Amino acid sequence: MTMEEKMGGSNREGEALDRFPVGMRVLAVDDDPICLKVLGTLLLKCQYQVTTTNQAISALKMLRENRNRYDLVISDVNMPDMDGFKLLELVGLEMDLPVIMLSAHSDTKLVMKGITHGACDYLLKPVRIEELKNIWQHVVRRKKPDSKDRVNALNQDKASGGIGEAVQTSTSSSDQKFNKKRKDQNEDEEDDGEDNEHENDDPSTQKKPRVVWSVELHRKFVAAVNHLGLDKAVPKKILDLMNVEGLTRENVASHLQKYRLYLKRLSSVATQQANMVAALGGKDPSYLRMGSLDGFGDFRTLTGSGRLSSASLSSYQPSGMFGRLNSSAALNLRGISAGVIQQGHPQTLSNSINGLGKIQPVGLPANQNQNGTLFQGIPSSIELNQLSQNKSDNHFGELNPVNNPNVFGVATNFPDARMTVGSSSSSLSTPSGSPLLLQANTQQAQHSGAFGNQSSLRVASLNQESFDMGVHGFSNFVDNGRCHENWQNTVQLSSFPSNSLSTCEAFSHEQLHTNNLQESISWRSSHLNDNPIDLSASMANAGLEDSRGDMQCQISPSNNVIHNIDYAAKQQWGENSSFAGADSLVAGAPYVQHLEAGKLAFNTKLRSNEDILFEQRKPQNEFSQNNFETLDVISSSMIKPEQYNETGMMEGEFGYDAFPLGSCI
Amino acid sequence: MESKHVHQQIAAMRQSFFDEEVLDEFFSQLEQLEDQNNPNFVEEVFTMYFRDSTTLLETVEQAMKTISITLAKLDKILHQLKGSSASVGAKKVLNEINKTRQVLEKGNLEGTKAGIWEMRKEYESLKAKLEPYFQV
C-alpha cells in the first residue's frame, strides 16, 4: 500500500488512463469532524488528493474559485449550514461536477432525493474503503460525453490532469454535453470498464442520456416553458422551442418534471415573492435593464451587506414566514424567490407567483430551507412572470428543488446569481422566472450573500420591457428572492423580499403590462409576512395582468403585517386594478398604510432576519403612489437601517426615480 | 519481554472487543488507515469521537429534560451520533442508537429516554474499554 501510494503520488500527472483513479482530486464536505477525518484518510488511502471542509459554504467557495481544481465532490446530507441536497444541486448546476452523497441514513426516499437532485451516487456511512475505490468512475463517466475523444485521449494521457480538463470541456458546452452524454450513455462505460453498479449504470438504452442542464440550457428551457405556458408546456414543444441540438424529448420531459416540482416548491414561497416581485417587477424596464446587470453589481453592493442574499434569505428562514419569503419574495419579484423565497416562503412565493403568472402555488414548501425556498418561490415568480413574459430563467425552478438548504434552495442555485443573471439578461423573459432567478441568485447570495440581489437585479433587467422588475429590488431580493416577475424596476425594490419579506415591497407584478411599473410596485411586500400566498393571490389579483405594475404594496410587515397585508393585498388586489394604474397605488396606499404599520412591525422582524431589504420595501407600500415615489418611500421605510445594510441600498435604488425606474436601481 | 507482553495484551483486548461486538470491522478499517504517515490515527479518531459524542450525548440529555423537545431535533442529534459511531466502528453504541431512533420515530418519548440511557451505557463502557487499550 505504501508503495502504491508513493507511486501514485508521484506519477499522478500524465499517466495513462489506468492511473486515472490515482490522484483524483476530491473535495469532501461533512459537518461531523470525525466522519470527515475518517473519510479524508480513507480517500488518501485510495490515493486520491483530498481536500476536506466541514462547511458547505466554504466548499462552495472553493469550488467556485477554481472549478477545475476538483474532480469529484463528496458531501454529507445533513449539514447545519446548508442542506446537502442543495449543495448538490448547486454544484451540479454551476460546476457540473460529479457529486456523491453521503449519509448515515439509508432511507430510500433520501436516496431518491439524491438522485433527483443529480447525485452521482449515494453512499452510506460508515463508508467502506472498497466503495471509495470505485468512485472515480463517476468522474470518468461524466467526462465521457463531452468530447469523448478528447476525454479518452485525455484520460489516457493524464491522470488527474486530464480529468480536470475533461471536466472543463464538458462544462463548457452544454450542448456538447448533451450529445456526449447521450453518446456516452449509449456506449456505456466500457471504456473504463467499470462495473456500473451505480445509478448511472448502463446508460445505454435504459436511461435517457444524462443531460447536464447547464445554466444556459436551463434558461432556454425556462424560456420555452414560459413561452408555452406551464400548463401547456409539453416536452415536444419545449424541445422545439429550445432548439438545442442533441437534446431529446425525454431529457426535456424529466427536466420539466423536476422543474414543475421546483416551481411548486417555489410557488409557496414565490407567491409571496411573486407578490413582491410583481410589485417590483413591473416597473421600469429601463431600470431593470440597466441595472439589472449593472444593478446587480449595485445590488450587490447594496446587499453589500452581502447579506442580502444570504442574510436575507437566511433570515428569512427564521422567519419561517413563508409569506416572508414572499417578502423576500420581494426579491422574488418573482423569481427572486431565490433567496428569499426560499426561506421557506416558497409558499408564498408560489402564491405570489401564481398570482403573477402561472406560478404554481404549489405551495412552496415553506422552505425554511433557504435553499429551496428561494427557488421555489422563484419558479413561481417565474411562472408568474409568464404573464409578464418574464422569462425568469427557470433556473429557479431548477434550483429550487434543492432542499432548501439554508440557502434557499433556490437562491442557492443561483449562487452566482448567474442564474438569474442569465435570466435577467434575457430580460426577464421569464417574467417570473427572472425575478426569481435573481432571487435565486440572490438567494445564492445568501450564501454568497450578494447574489440574491444580483439576481434580482438581473431579473429586473430581464424584464426588458419595463418590467425591469424591480429588479432592483432584486438585489435585495437576494434576500428576498423576490420573484417579481415583472417587476420592472420600479418596484423592484419592493422585490427585495430580501429577507425581510415583510416589506414585500409591492412588486410591480404587473409591471409587465404597464411597464409603468411604478405602480406595480405595489409589491406586495406585505405579503411577505403573512402569507406570501395571500399576497400572491392578491398580487395575482392585482392584475398582474394589469401589468400596470400592480404595485402591490403588499409590504406585509412581518408576520403580523402580513396578515394585514394579505388582507390589504387582497383588497388591493381588488384595487389592484386601480393600482395597476397609478391609481392603484392610491388604493394601495390605504393598504399600504396598513401595511406600513405592519411593515414596521415586520421590518423589525425582518431585521432580525436580515430582511433589510424588505425594509426597503416597505417604502413600497408607500408607493401606492403609483410611481415610485411610493416606492421610494417604501423602500426607505423598508429599508430599515439596521438590517439593511443592504437594503438601505435598496432604497437608494428604489428611490429610483420612480419611474424611470432605470434609476431605480 | 515487556513489549511482547504488551503486544499480547493489546491483541487480547482487541480480540475481546470484536468478540463482544463492541467494535466492528470498521475499526479494523481504521486500523488499516494507520500507518507511518498517520501514526496514532485510530487514537486520534477515537479521541475526537469521544469528545464530540460526549457533547452530543449531553445535548440529548438536556433536550430530553426540556418539555418541548422536538422530535426532529432529537433525531438530528441522534443521526449525527449514529454517523460518528458508525465511522469509528463502535458497533454496540451504534445498535443502541438505531434502536433508539426507531423508537423515537414512533413517537414514544419514554421509550426514547430508555433508549438513550442504554446508549449512554454502551458508550460509557466503550470508552472505558478503549481507554486502557490506547494507553497500552
Position A145 confidence tier, pLDDT thresholds 50, 70, 90: low
**Which has the closest alpha carbon to A506: A273, A347, A335?**
A273
The residue of A29, A30, A31, A38 whose CB has the most chain B CBs within 10 angstroms, and thus the best one to mutate to test that interface, is: A38
Spatial neighbors of A411 by CB under 8 A, at least 6 apart, are A309, A313, A337, A338, A339, A340, A341, A342, A370, A371, A373, A374, A375, A378, A399, A439, A440, A441, A442, A443, A444, A445, A446, A447, A451, A452, A455, A478, A481
Q: Measure CB to CB from residue B48 to each of A2, A33, A105 and give the nearest one.
A: A33
Residue A73 is predicted with a pLDDT of 86
Which residue ranges make up each domain of chain B?
1-134
Residue among A329, A521, A520, A554 at smallest CA distance from A442: A329
CATH topology for the B1-134 domain = Four Helix Bundle (Hemerythrin (Met), subunit A) (1.20.120)
B102–chain A Cβ distance below 8 A for any pair: no
Which residue bears the cell 479524508?
A40
Query: How far does A124 lie from chain B, in Å, by closest CA?
Result: 9
Chain A: give the shortest CA distance to residue B55, in Å: 13
Tens digit of each residue's pLDDT, chain B (136 residues): 556 777 777 677 667 766 666 666 666 766 666 666 666 777 777 777 777 777 777 777 777 666 555 666 777 777 777 776 766 666 556 666 677 667 666 666 666 667 677 777 777 777 776 676 666 5
Whole-number Å distance between alpha carbons of A591 and A573: 10
Give pLDDT, residue A444: 38
Contacts of B29 in chain A (CB under 8 A): 42, 128-129
Residue A3 burial class via C-beta count within 10 angstroms: exposed 0-12, middle 13-18, buried 19 and up = exposed
Residues of chain A contacting residue B82, judged by C-beta atoms under 8 Å apart: 104, 125
- The minimal CB distance from A126 to the residues B33, B79, B87 is found for B87
B83 CA to chain A: closest CA distance, Å?
A: 5
Assigned C-alpha cell, A209: 442520456
pLDDT of residue A25: 84
Residue A508's DSSP bridge partners are A551
* Burial letters A627-651, b for 16+ CB under 10 A, else e: bbbbbbbbbbbbbbebbbbbbbbbb
Q: Given this model, what pLDDT does residue A433 score?
A: 36
With a cut of 60, say whether residue A422 has pLDDT above it: no
Best mutation target among A30, A34, A124 (most B Cβ atoms within 10 Å) is A34
The CA angle A443-A292-A230, to the nearest 5 degrees, is 65
Model pLDDT for residues A601-650, shown as the tens digit of each residue: 333 343 434 333 333 344 444 433 344 344 444 444 444 444 434 333 33
Cell numbers that stand for A24 in this block: 483524483
Cβ A413 vs Cβ A85: under 8 Å: no
Q: Assess whether pLDDT exceeds 60 at residue A524.
A: no
Q: How far apart are alpha carbons A274 and A378 in whole angstroms?
A: 8
DSSP A410-442: HHHHGGGTHHHHHHHHTTTEEBBHHHHHHHHHH
Rounded Cα gap, residues A523 and A588, in angstroms: 10
Which residues on chain B are in Cβ contact (under 8 Å) with A39? 87
**Portion of chain A with pLDDT greater than 90, in percent:** 0
pLDDT of residue A479: 36
Tell me, what amino acid is at A392? Answer: S
Are B83 and A35 an interchain contact pair (Cβ–Cβ within 8 Å)? yes
Q: Which of A35, A78, A129 sits opposite B87 (nearest CB)?
A: A35
| Cβ contact, residue pair A38, B52, below 8 Å | no
- What's the pLDDT at A264? 79
**Chain B residues with CB-CB distance to A368 below 8 A:** none
Grid cell listed for B13: 483486548
Q: Are A469 and A255 in contact (CB under 8 A)?
A: no
Would an 8 Å CB–CB cutoff place B51 in contact with chain A?
no
Q: Residue A285 above 80 pLDDT?
A: no
Name the amino acid, one letter, at B14: R
- Give the orientation angle of helix A160-172 with respect to helix A148-157, to 10 degrees: 160
Strand partners for A482 = A336
B79 Cα to chain A: minimum distance (Å): 7
Calpha distance A481→A380 (Å, rounded): 11
Q: What is the pLDDT at residue A30?
A: 85
Q: Are the C-beta atoms of residues A502 and A525 closer than 8 Å to each other?
A: yes
For residue A50, the surrounding DSSP H or E stretch is strand A49-53
What is the value of pTM for the model shown? 0.38
Q: Distance between terminal CA atoms of chain A?
A: 60
Cβ atoms of B123 and B60 within 8 Å: the answer is no
Interface test with A, best of B28, B70, B84 (most A CBs within 10 A): B84
Task: Give the HSE-up count for residue B70: Cα atoms under 13 Å, Cβ half-sphere.
Answer: 4
| A462 Cβ contact partners less than 8 Å away, ≥ 6 residues apart | A288, A289, A292, A390, A391, A392, A393, A420, A423, A424, A425, A426, A427, A428, A429, A430, A434, A435, A437, A438, A469, A471
Measured distance CA(A69)–CA(A101) in Å, rounded: 19
Q: Would you call A125 and B83 a contact, using CB atoms and an 8 Å cutoff?
A: yes
Phi-psi map region of A52: left, alpha, beta (phi>0 left; psi -120 to 50 alpha): beta
For residue B77, count CB atoms less than 10 angstroms from its CB and return exposed for 0-12, middle for 13-18, buried for 19 or more: middle
- Read off φ and ψ for residue A158, nearest 5 degrees: -110, 160
Q: How confident is the model at residue A533 (pLDDT cuts 50, 70, 90)?
A: very low
A437 within 8 A of A396, measured Cβ to Cβ: yes
Show which residues on chain A lie within 8 Å of chain B, measured between beta carbons: 1-2, 31-35, 37-39, 41-42, 45, 76, 78, 103-105, 125-129
Beta bridge partners of A121: A100
What pLDDT was estimated at residue B90?
61
Range with the largest mean pLDDT of A173-182, A363-372, A487-496: A173-182
Sign of CA dihedral A463, A466, A469, A471: positive
- Residue listed under C-alpha cell 449550514: A81
Q: What is the value of ipTM here, to two decimals? A: 0.75
What's the pLDDT tens digit per position in A309-321? Answer: 333 333 333 333 3
Which residues of chain B are within 8 Å of residue A74 when distances are taken between CB atoms? none
Residue of higher predicted confidence among A228 and A209: A228
β-bridge mates for residue A602, sequence order: none
Q: Is B90 on the interface with A (CB under 8 A)?
A: no
Count of CB contacts below 8 A, A vs B?
A: 63
Contacts of A454 (CB under 8 A, 6+ apart): A295, A296, A297, A299, A300, A303, A309, A417, A420, A421, A438, A441, A442, A445, A474, A475, A478
Q: Is pLDDT at A58 greater than 80 in this prediction?
A: yes
CB atoms A2 and B45 under 8 Å: no
Per the listing, cell 416572508 goes with A324
Find the CB nearest A126 among B48, B80, B86.
B86
A433–chain B nearest CA distance, Å:
33
Q: pLDDT tens for residues A146-169?
A: 544 444 444 444 444 444 444 444
- What is the C-alpha separation between A270 and A118, in angstroms, rounded? 23
Q: Flag whether residue B32 sits within 8 Å of chain A, measured between CB atoms.
A: yes
Q: What is the pLDDT of residue A381?
A: 38
Report the distance separating Cα B37 and Cα A277, nearest Å: 57
Write down all domains in chain A, each with its CATH number in brackets: 21-144 (3.40.50.2300), 212-275 (1.10.10.60)
How much is the pLDDT for B20? 62
Residue of B nearest to A103 (CA): B83
Instruction: Check CB contact under 8 Å for B80 and A32.
Output: yes
Q: In this predicted structure, what is the pLDDT of residue A69? A: 79
All three cell numbers of B122, joined, read 454502551
Nearest to A32 among B26, B29, B84 (CB): B84
